[in-house]
Amino acid sequence: MKPKITLKDIARELEVSISTVSKALKNSEEISRDTKEKVQAFAKLYNYKPNNIAISLKNKRTKNIGVVIPAIVHHFFTTVIRGIEKYANAKGYNVIVCLSEESFDREVINMEMLANGSIDGFIMSLSSETQLKGDYNHLKEVTEQGIPLVLVDRVTNEVECDKVIIDDELGAYVATKKLIEQGRKKIALITTDDYLSVSKARTEGYKKALLESKMDIDESRILKLSTMEMDEQGIQDFFKNNDVDAVLCVNEIFTVYSMRLVQNKGLNIPEDISFIGFTDGLLSQYANPSLTVIAQHGEKMGEISAQMLIDKVESEDEEETFQTKILEPTLVVRESTIN
């Protein structure tokens, strides 16, 4: 066990001052070639690495960014993290991941843990409970303290900050339009409660497409489920009581589970009924039939979030100008719709 070596150790050993060592290691012009070589050789020999904490304390910058997301087992969020990691790491930043598990309290606790010097900025996606409560004081507090914040995907316009979202309304619109073009007349929507920003937008896109095609909006064809748990019974009841020929679902799981139900009823996909889901994840790729989906480009969203955040963190001037980056979703056609 060889403990870490410090500047002080080198200074003592070489009988110079700490400042000399520090400068020598930075190749400062102030220090003679002789001393620099001596110090650098010694440092290399003993594998000296400056202590990150000390540096953080000195320049009030940690090179850490905090990421608070509702869940990690959802494929979409893992791709977002991956994008963040990728960009952040290339810029020399570490990523501290905290999971709110859709809980308001855990979101608050996690932010407070990180907001006291541990990170230079936040990237976060709101928990569903937070969006339900509509309480964003914990976000406002960090922005008031001057900590940069980027909201991604699940956002709110209650707090002023940078945001990265996809055009969920457009995504649902395009998907619904696609189903209409295929001659579908009874198009269902399986979504989550409206307080989720994304769900609301998608419902609007769905309705917009229907209205544009002079089709009625039948509220009984819209199923709203909880975000917290997978309500299998709810979906079963829905298909028992409704006769539909196409379904748009706001996530992969709803889609795949619904497909199995109708398959067990003896229907053929996509001949008898079409499906389109959100999120282009493993489930969509490997489902049978494979899913036509609205791809959300999570990795791209993560990268952009990280870029916006790090730009803010590293910018000198304190211009209070925020932007919202809206990405366009992509329709990926596979086997669950007639192509």
Partner DNA sequence: TATCAACACGAAACCGTTTTCGATAAATCT
Partner DNA sequence: AGATTTATCGAAAACGGTTTCGTGTTGATA
Report the interface residues with its own copies, using CB under 8 A.
1-4, 49-54, 56-57, 62, 64, 72-73, 75, 78-79, 81-82, 85-86, 89, 92, 94-99, 106, 110, 112-118, 144-146, 252-253, 256-257, 259-260, 263, 282-283, 286-288, 318
CB of 269: closest distance to its own copies in angstroms? 10
How distant is the alpha carbon of residue 280 from its chain centre? Answer: 14
Out of 12, 41, 55, 158, the residue judged to bind DNA by CB under 7 A = 55
- Write out the DSSP string of 216-280: ---GGGEEEE-SSS--HHHHHHHHHH---SEEEESSHHHHHHHHHHHHHTT--TTTT-EEEEE--
Distances (CA, A) of 103 to 98, 131, 249: 12, 10, 23
Least Å from the CB of residue 83 to its own copies: 11
Interface residue with DNA among 13, 37, 41, 51 (CB under 7 A) is 51
Only one residue has tokens 């501290």, namely 96
Q: How far is the CB of 222 from its own copies (least distance, A)?
A: 23
Which among DNA, its own copies, none contacts residue 8 (Cβ within 5 to 8 A by kind)? DNA
| Residue 45 site contact among its own copies, DNA, none (CB < 5 to 8 Å, cut-off depends on kind) | none
Contact at 8 Å (CB) between 62 and 116? no
- In angstroms, how far is CA 326 from the centroid of its own chain? 14
Binding-site member from 12, 26, 185, 265 for DNA (CB under 7 A): 26
16 binds, among DNA, its own copies, none (CB under 5 to 8 A by kind): DNA
What does the per-residue mask of binding to DNA show for 197-236, with x meaning CB under 7 A? ----------------------------------------
Residue 33 engages DNA in binding (rule: CB under 7 A): yes
Q: Which of 47, 59, 233, 321 binds DNA (CB under 7 A)?
A: 59
Max alpha carbon distance in the chain (Å)? 86
Residues linked to residue 276 through DSSP beta bridges, in sequence order? 248, 292
Choices 8-16, 201-209, 212-220, 250-258 (CB under 7 A): range interacting with DNA: 8-16
**Among the listed residues 69, 122, 126, the one whose alpha carbon sits nearest the alpha carbon of residue 93:** 122
Element (H, E) at 68: strand 64-69
Q: Are 322 and 160 in contact (CB under 8 A)?
A: yes
Helices 75-90 and 298-314: angle between axes, nearest 10 degrees? 40
Range 69-82 burial, b when 16+ CB lie within 10 A, else e: bbbeebbbbbbbbe
Question: What is the nearest approach in angstroms of its own copies to the Cβ of residue 50?
Answer: 7
Tell me the C-alpha distance between 39 and 41, whole Å. 5
Which residue from 31, 283, 301, 306 is in contact with DNA, where contact means CB under 7 A? 31
Q: Does 112 bind DNA (CB under 7 A)?
A: no
Check residue 20 for interaction with DNA (CB under 7 A).
yes
Instruction: Tell me the closest approach of the beta carbon of residue 37 to DNA, in angstroms.
Output: 10
Least Cβ distance, residue 279 to DNA (angstroms)? 42
Site for DNA in 70-89 (CB under 7 A): none
Q: Which residues bind DNA (CB under 7 A)?
A: 4, 6-8, 15-20, 22-23, 25-26, 30-35, 48-51, 53-55, 57-60
